[in-house]
C-alpha cells in the first residue's frame, strides 16, 4: 500500500484528561498507521491540574510524531484550539476531542474526503448513517435548537455546526486570519468562517460517544452570550462585508497560482 501524500495534523485540546488521553492517542495512532497516513498529533495542554502533562511528555518520548503546546492562563477551549492550529505543520488539520467521544475511523474518512478535492469536512451526528450514544437529553435539545437557528440565519445546509470535530485544509485555516473566540464558540467561528468564504465543504455522518470518565467542560449558561457574540460577528461579516472578504480571498488564490506557475530562471555553466 502506497503512503499517502497529504500530511495530517490532529489537534487535541487537553484539560484534565489523564485517564482518557492514552486511549485517544493509541487509537488515533493505530488507525492512522494502518492507513499509512503521515501524521502528527498536536496535544495542547490547556492548564491541566491533573497528570495530563506527564502523560503527554511520556508519549512524546516514545513517538516523535507527538508534539505539545503548553498553555499558560487564561485557559479556554477556544484558546487551546487557536494555539494548536498555530502550531500545525500538516496539509490537513482535524480537531479531535480528548474525551474518547470522536471515532478515529471518522478521522480517516475526513482525510479521504479532502483527498477527493474538498476544502473542509463537517461531520454530522444528525444525518443518516450517524451514531450517537449517551448524549444528555437537555444538551441534545439545546444543540438542535442552536444549530437550526444557525441554519436559518446563514442559509446553510449543515446541521452540526457547533461540533468541533471537523477537518480543514490548513491553507483554509490560514485564510481565516486571526481567530478570536476563546471558548466553545470557536466551533461557530471556524464553521461559519469557511461557509462565508464559499469553500467547498462536504458533510459526512460520524459516530459520537458520550464520555466515560471525567466531566464535560461545556457550560451552557456561560456559553450563551459567547455564542451570540460570535453569531453577531459572523452575521455582520456575511451581511455587510462579504464582498470584501471574498475579494481578498480571490486575490490570494490568484497570487498563489501566479507564484506556482512562474517558470524558473534558466542557468548555464560558465
Whether 260 is in a domain gets the answer no
Place of cell 479521504: 112
Whether 57 is in a domain gets the answer yes
Whether 87 is in a domain gets the answer yes
Domain that holds residue 187: 8-255
Q: What is the pLDDT of residues 43-88, one digit of tens each?
A: 999 999 999 999 999 999 999 999 999 999 999 999 999 999 999 9
CATH number, domain at 230? Answer: 3.90.550.10
* Helical packing angle, 77-87 and 186-196, nearest 10°: 50
Q: How far apart are CA 214 and CA 17, in angstroms?
A: 7
Domain count, the chain: 1
Whether 263 is in a domain gets the answer no
Residue 262 clears pLDDT 70, i.e. is over it: no
Chain centroid to CA 156: how far?
19
Whether 261 is in a domain gets the answer no
Q: How far apart are CA 252 and CA 229, in angstroms?
A: 28
Whether 56 is in a domain gets the answer yes
Residue 212 clears pLDDT 60, i.e. is over it: no
**Among candidate residues 118, 122, 153, 177, the one with its CA nearest the CA of residue 236:** 153
Whether 2 is in a domain gets the answer no
Whether 268 is in a domain gets the answer no
Q: How confident is the model at residue 24 (pLDDT cuts 50, 70, 90)?
A: very high
Amino acid at each position: 500500500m502506497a503512503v499517502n501524500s497529504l500530511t495530517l495534523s490532529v489537534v487535541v485540546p487537553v484539560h484534565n484528561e489523564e485517564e482518557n488521553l492514552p486511549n485517544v492517542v493509541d487509537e488515533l495512532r493505530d488507525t492512522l498507521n494502518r492507513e499509512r497516513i503521515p501524521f502528527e498529533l498536536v496535544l495542547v495542554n490547556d492548564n491541566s491540574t491533573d497528570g495530563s502533562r506527564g502523560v503527554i511528555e511520556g508519549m512524546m518520548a516514545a513517538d516523535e510524531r507527538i508534539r505539545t503546546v503548553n498553555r499558560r492562563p487564561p485557559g479556554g477551549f477556544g484558546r487551546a484550539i487557536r494555539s494548536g492550529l498555530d502550531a500545525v505543520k500538516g496539509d490537513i488539520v482535524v480537531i479531535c476531542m480528548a474525551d474518547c467521544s470522536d471515532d478515529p475511523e471518522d478521522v480517516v474518512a475526513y482525510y479521504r474526503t479532502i483527498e477527493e478535492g474538498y476544502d473542509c469536512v463537517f461531520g454530522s451526528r444528525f444525518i443518516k448513517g450517524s451514531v450517537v450514544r449517551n448524549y444528555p437529553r437537555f444538551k441534545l435539545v439545546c444543540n438542535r435548537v442552536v444549530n437550526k437557528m444557525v441554519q436559518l440565519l446563514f442559509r446553510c445546509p449543515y446541521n452540526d455546526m457547533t461540533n468541533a470535530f471537523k477537518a480543514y485544509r490548513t491553507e483554509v485555516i490560514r485564510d481565516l486570519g486571526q481567530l478570536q473566540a476563546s471558548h466553545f464558540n470557536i466551533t461557530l467561528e471556524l464553521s461559519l468562517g469557511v461557509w462565508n468564504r464559499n469553500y467547498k465543504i462536504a458533510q459526512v455522518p460520524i459516530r459520537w460517544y458520550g464520555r466515560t470518565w471525567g466531566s464535560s467542560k461545556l457550560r451552557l449558561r456561560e456559553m450563551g452570550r459567547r455564542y451570540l457574540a460570535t453569531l453577531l460577528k459572523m452575521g455582520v461579516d456575511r451581511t455587510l462585508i462579504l464582498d470584501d472578504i471574498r475579494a481578498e480571498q480571490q486575490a490570494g488564490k490568484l497570487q498563489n497560482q501566479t507564484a506556482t506557475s512562474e517558470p524558473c530562471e534558466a542557468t548555464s555553466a560558465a
